[in-house]
Every structure is written in C-alpha cells, then in structure tokens.
Amino acid sequence: MSTTYSRRQRMWLAFLALFFLPLWVALTAQTDAPQSYPFLPYHPIRVYKVVSTYAELQFNKLMRLVPLFGHFARFQLTNSKKTDMIKNVAYGRGSNLLDIYIGTTPSSPLALDHSDDDNDSEHTVESNGSPVIIYVYGGAWDAGHKSMMMPMAQNLANQGYIVVVPDYTRYPRAKIEDMVSDVQDAVNWTVQTVTRYGGDPSNIFLMGSGSGAHVASLAVMHDAVEQLGCVPVPAVEGDTTPLVKIPSWPELPTDMGRKVGSQRFKERVQGLILFSGVFDITFYYAYLHKRGIEEVSAMPRVMHQSASNYLACSPSWLLASATAALETTELLEQVLPNSILIIHGEQDRLIPAHSSQTLFDLLCTAEIPNIKFKVYTGQSHLDPAIDLVLPSNPITSALLNDISDVVRPTPGTGASTPNGLLEEDDYVKHHQDQYTKDFSDSLQDTVLAY
C-alpha cells in the first residue's frame, strides 16, 4: 500500500530535511569515528543538547555575520585603496600560503607593485619599523581560511601595522603538533622577510582568536618552558595513549633574544594578543562533555583523545607546572613575551571566560612587564573579533586602543595587578593551590567521560 503526501506535507518534509541534514552530517560523518554503528549513542538528552547547541551557533552566526556584509561592502568601497595586499605568498615546509596587508599612513607611504606576485617575486620597501601582527584565525581547529580575515586585516593595517595572515593546516589533515609547526614557520618566515614590506622583525606580535588563540599561545608557552628545560610530563593513571610531541622551534637565522647570565633565550615574538581563546584543554573537554557535544567537536581528536594529551596541550597547565617547578619566576619573565593582551566576551557560551582568566592569573605570577586582561560586557564568542572589522563600531575603537596599548606601550602602561588583596607570595601559593584543584576536578570529569 503506497503512501501519498499532500503538497503541504511534502513542503514540511522538505523543510525538516533541509534543517536536519547538516546536523545529520555533523553527527555521522566523522573522519575517525568508532568502527561500529551508530557512531553516537542517540540518547534523547544528548540529541537535544547537540541540536540546541547547533541551533544556537547558527543563530549567533546569522545575527552577527549577515549585517556584516553591508558594512564590509561599504568598507571596501571607501577604504580598499588605503591598504596594499600581497596574496598567496608561500612559507614554511609545506604548501601553506599567507597574505600580507600594508596600510599607507602619512608617516609611512608605501606603494608596492605586486601585479606579478609569485613565490619568487621581490617586493622590497625601506623598513619604517612598523609593528607586525601575525593573525592566527580560529574555526574550531577544522575550519576557516585566510581570505575571510581580509576586512579585519585591512582595518588593522590602516592603524599602521604590517599584518600577516597565514593559512595553516587544519583537521582532519593535521593535528595539534602540525598546527603549531605551521605557526612556527609563519613566525620564522616573518622574522626573515618582513623588512621587505616595511615591518620591524624585532617587534612581532602573534594574535589569535578562538582555536587560533590556543594554537598561538601553545606555540609560545611550550617554547618558553622548553627553553628553561622544564617541560612537564603528564601522568594520568590508566592513560596509555602515546604522548603528543609538540615540535621545537626551528633555529632563527639571527641571534635574536635576551641574555640572562650565561644563557641566551630566543625571543620569537614580542607579544601575544589573544581573543576568546581555549587555554585549558582539560577544562574545555569537561565543559563540552557537560554540554553533550564532545563527540561532534574536532577538538578531542586534534588533541589525540587522551587525558594526558589534553594536559600536554594546555598552555595554562604548562605555565602552572613550570611556575611550580622553578625556584623563581624571574626566568619565566625572560622567556615569555614582554606584552600580552587577553580579551574575552562576558557572554561567551562557546568558550567560557574562565579559560582566559586562569591564563591571566598565571601570567601575573611571572611578572610580565605589560599584561592586560579585559572582559567585554555583553559580548559573545564571535563579537570581539567581528567588531575589529567595523571601523564605525564604538567597541572597535576600544579594541584598537587595547591593542595599541600592548603593541605601542606608553610609560603609563604597565603590568596589571593580579590581586590587590593578597601579598605576592600568598597570591602565588593561593592561585597554584586553586589551579591544581580546578585541573584535578576537570581531569576527573574528563577521565569519567571515557
């Protein structure tokens, strides 16, 4: 007996299929999912959590990105001639490409002819000492493209910065160690080449948002503790997964760095600018598990799906372990960047602001000369990065001022006070004890989730 549907019923079926098809793909089309079906335990609560989270993310993207197109079109018409852009320059050991943005200002007029850009073409300009920002975009470790960052990069370039936006290998083609390696290559390429575009190779800032902030901070924090010879080895009971190997930085062609005693520490970047980042992978996995979406997130697979590797890939854990292992935090000050800006949206439900707060507290114990942490009221996960695209937005001015305070610090700009209520030694001990407890609680949730 055949079943016939009315026109209205067919329309409803088509609508439901259109809405749930992307969700079905996300649930089932996993690159390294379990061998047996179903890929996920289709418990009603889990399905509800995944569907609601998916709908929330799509709604937030729609509400923020649709109005952006009009602003972007107007921005392009009125500002495109003020920025010189060099596209698809090869860098590093793979087939990755990067774009360079050079804004012309009255103090630094640049006019480059790049009509025949290729990997071998020369674009030499006299260096004007402009600060350099390397932007590592986010995208949950498995999405994104450098071309999507063009309006933000143009806006930053018009503030007088040389902006480098590299593409980097993402999941499923790469895992965390490959992404870190690509960021290292982008930094080394910039150190060697940026003077040709008017940049100062001794004044490079690494900027990242979301997962890009995690990759950028991991590259810098791991390098710092490695230089001090105190890279911690996590040992989680019952976890026999091979430990991820975060690559060491390639040697710099010049003798850049700061000399402390008989040692010279490599100075890769002058500063970090981190938007809405993930810095505690263990805590973040526990957070995803509570929301019921850890199975559809690329993050666990990027970090090799083990509790030990979640610790090894957590910049905050690396920093906390090094602080506990060293007799004095003065050495950390020598190997960490001089300036660090951390920004998070108060209403970020994708990556809680707790992640940024913890990293900031730990960095304060290292007495970084110029460190700033700012939580923007009413802002969600995408907002801080998107607001940098719109020059006319009131929040954009505040963000640009925050960036300028770190990139171009004035005598009045100094380190933020970690806690005005406790003496420094008491604060360090108090925070280390609290941080150990937070990680233990998150780790227990993580182990129980397997």
pLDDT of residue 68: 64
Contacts (Cβ under 8 Å, ≥6 apart) of 161: 103, 130, 131, 132, 133, 407
**Torsion over CA of 309, 314, 318 and 321, rounded to 10 degrees?**
-80
Task: Answer for the pair 332, 174: CB distance below 8 angstroms, yes or no.
Answer: no
pLDDT of residue 252: 67
pLDDT of residue 279: 96
pLDDT of residue 69: 66
Task: Using alpha carbons only, give the angle 301, 29, 49 rounded to the nearest 5 degrees.
Answer: 75
Task: Answer for the pair 288, 225: CB distance below 8 angstroms, yes or no.
Answer: no
Domain ranges for the chain: 49-449
Q: 49-449 — its CATH code?
A: 3.40.50.1820
Query: Residue 230, CB half-sphere, CA atoms under 13 Å: how many?
Result: 20
List of long-range contacts for 123-127, beta carbons under 8 Å, 24+ apart: 123/86, 123/196, 123/197, 124/196, 125/196, 125/197, 125/198, 126/198, 127/195, 127/198, 127/199, 127/200
Give CA–CA dist 398/111, Å, rounded: 30
The pTM of the whole model exceeds 0.85? no
pLDDT of residue 170: 93
Task: Answer for the pair 53, 295: CB distance below 8 angstroms, yes or no.
Answer: no
Give CA–CA dist 442/434, Å, rounded: 12
Q: Mean pLDDT by 10-residue block, N- to C-terminus, for the chain (450 residues)?
A: 66 72 57 50 63 67 63 63 84 91 60 45 56 94 88 89 96 95 95 93 94 97 93 86 91 58 64 95 90 84 94 95 86 90 90 92 88 88 75 81 89 44 38 48 49
pLDDT of residue 322: 92
Task: Using alpha carbons only, give the angle 59, 64, 67 rounded to the nearest 5 degrees.
Answer: 120
pLDDT of residue 86: 94
pLDDT of residue 125: 46
In the structure encoding, which two tokens stand for residue 245, read together?
A: 């190997």
